[in-house]
Chains A and B, each alone.
Chain A
């Protein structure tokens, strides 16, 4: 068994891309092992620092297994004439198989067959051949070239390569760099180039040269050092994303504790955290009750800060940043949000859609439509109106200019400071929520309505201009905008129909495209958040897709009932009914009255009567949105249905009877399909495919 070490030495890779590069490299390498036949039992791992991606592979086959190649040629009859002389076909085949004609033999099927052993190639030459393409095939968000136009692209320049197979250099070249056995340590604490014997030696060499190769170890080092620096009762405010960034920005991380003037704690936490976490990449420190205190932990990419110069430097930068923020915060108080409404005319929303002032007017209109549709009480409606009027005004503040990621939150904070009602301030604060597929939606009904209004007018405006996302292209993140709108409506329990949402959004000629877009997001929501199988989702949407909360209730009920055996059988029966009716060409049963006189006594009449009773109950249950109960009612029809199909011939000879039966079945389908089109339920309970 062989062991491979591949190190791609680079200039500093952006921290946000390292994690992905590790996974991709590992996956691509494992795939390559499969293709090359070098062993699927291999253990593969990839470690990374800002300056290196290091791949370790153990348990590799030293060479491919030999394989037997079987070539089949023409049949013996074709290959040899009656006298046993080879024909052109035999000569051609012998040439192709590179054996003398005299050695040609036929297999049991009568065809000429040549079997030969192809010796496996050794791992070294295979890897030398395939690794360069594999490495350069890694995809990065913004790759560069560095060796001139047309030269290979990578995330940052590759400066050295180590490629050792059982200690021997694999002769490969990537982007003009020949692989060797020499690596480099930390830029300032380590040496380079340093020779490496094998994988184990490599890790030790790096450690001796101040590179902690394991990202897990760097992470633990950061956290444990930070905690050791803090007095009792203080702790770092955990932030996995920040930790990952720091892990991938350092080769030799060292935590440094710093402090700042406690007076800055009067700035809102949102501002303090943004400056420390996002801009400066420091951990914020909190006390036992979770409140921020006036210290921070920076993570340096070097050894201990014996002289305190690193601490002093970071403190100085943070002081300047807080000083700026403090200045902006106070400066902004010179004019209130309501005094800034007209200033929004100078802030572009979108070239053809005008300014944020225009956007605000559309939001207000959508807001009052929502108030009306939901029947919001007067107080909530006026809070919503106020929130929407002021929601975008923080875009004109200095502090949002400095910290754009705080838009909305700043508006909410200023609204509070300026004495706006709590509901208004909260709604402004929350109106960009949900931020993603899983983040929280706004806390209050007012906030949810404000966010919804804002999203609808964005969608309507962009769709109206024809800026409709296609394929992977969605530069304006309209899918996220719409998904958020659906989440707010469904998770917020808003009784709004898609038709009314589309009307509020006002997408002009693209209204139906927008409606379809929203249905698509609803479909995703049901699948992703509701965990509902796709066939159930499709079945429910087919019955009606117009009211998202209702769709969600039906889907939830159906997903539950669907597991029961009665229901499985029922779905099969429905499919049968659908087929019969469909084949007979009865498409629109509405209005076709059935003639009770033509019903046969026994199972047919029984089913007819049960159906009348059940349909009545379903109507009642549906009105209360107790769809689980409705579905149980439908399932209770199963014995009657089974008896019906056991004894009743739908396609009766008598035309009148046949037409009556078809109409009856079509009518039944319609009555029972208000919750879902059961015929679309897949017979396999795990089935993801719609029928």
Chain B
């Protein structure tokens, strides 16, 4: 078998060196009733060709987003990833390396993560960022738990503009970790006023920028209201490219930023692996979950990097850890960091402007289709349309015409019939004129 280097002769010689007659002797501690005599009931070994055919057949049954006009966002965005990114992350020294616990032989990973932490701090307008989390939704839940620790309070208020997956993940943690999460009603028209709900028991208010329905809002006043009451403002960002055009959470007064970095350097991947982002103020750094890389000197006085403030983490504090987290999303963070390195200031701001321009063109075009209205006053690259009939059915019919027409709100909010005519539509720099025309035409046909 191609991945197993030991030969029969090797095995025999090694058994002899160990002093046992057969491999079974090394499994003697297994209770007899639990020993499997033969092979488990699954197919036998296959060569590359056969495995490629089998999995290729599964892949072929999926409609590829890049092959058709595609307008789906809702927390996962299709951007163009430059060719260099995927080549560089597949270098074996990045792909197959371990967590950098031995810093002398992991300076590549550590320097990269230090650069990533800096990039994320700059993008979010915050003082310090960690070396990434599993994804945006779990980062959001961790942010709320951190706010609880910092304020020593247990009541979180979650905006109606926060992505439902993030709300649900936070609510699951609330139930089992032991805090309250108050979920405001879904807020497609960005009318909610959360400031009035803050009281002395509130640990944090969690909002999203731009909101899940696309709106862009200034949260500065809300930040002040939080701080007056001794609570923290958590701003979630799930379209990282928006940070190239929209005011940063830090500039709005956020205390913690939790977000999703998939838009940078990472493919859609049917939802995973993605890239959780986490940033905060320096004064809260010891309460921050996840890995942190810090700069230091080696014995020759040369600059180098190490994992630091590890005593917060599970392998040291055990039951008193800030979180049980063990891994970050290392390779996805590398991909995002390389993409940002290639873009630079000029490229990143241009990319954001391009996304906005595409979305504006698309929104104007679709709002002109009879029966369709645009819900948003403001948006970045994603907006909400109100259709004259349930959006789920419209999306199904458009899928049969090979157009991926966005996400019906009913997919994200199955229990909210009042939202069933709403459709979330995204555009990115990959959206073409032809795509937009095809969508508008098909939409008009389906609604007629």
Interaction A to B: no
**Chain B residues close to A by CB (< 8 Å):** none
